[in-house]
Amino acid sequence: MSPKMTEPTDVANPILAAIADLQMRLTYQDDDIKQLNLIVTRQQGELSRLQQAMNQLRARVAALPETHSETARAESPPPHY
């Protein structure tokens, strides 16, 4: 074999190895992206539920009678004070 015939295969082997490595990384990245997407979707649902619950609590607090806090302040202290 002449040296010129071995050069292309010597150069091709590292290139093929690099391509195989990139393909493997891409496969793992695709899996990671799918898993992250599932997590983000689940967390968005949780955030939406928590925001809805918080809005309901705000509405309930706003609907509480204002006189409750005023009457608590106007009452005399218990006899044991």
10-26 confidence digits (pLDDT tens)? 667 989 999 999 999 99
| Cα–Cα dist 15/12, whole Å | 5
Minimum mean pLDDT range among 17-26, 58-67, 71-80: 71-80
Residue 29 covered by a domain:
no
Range of the domain at 48: 34-60
Q: Would you give the DSSP letter of residue 47?
A: H
Residue 54 covered by a domain:
yes
Q: What is the mean pLDDT of residues 66-80?
A: 69
**Of the ranges 3-12, 24-33, 59-68, 72-81, which is most confident?**
24-33
| Cα–Cα dist 79/81, whole Å | 5
Number of other residues whose CB lies within 10 A of the CB of residue 7: 10
Residue 27 covered by a domain:
no
Question: How many domains does the chain divide into?
Answer: 1
In a 3-state reduction of DSSP, which class is residue 10?
helix
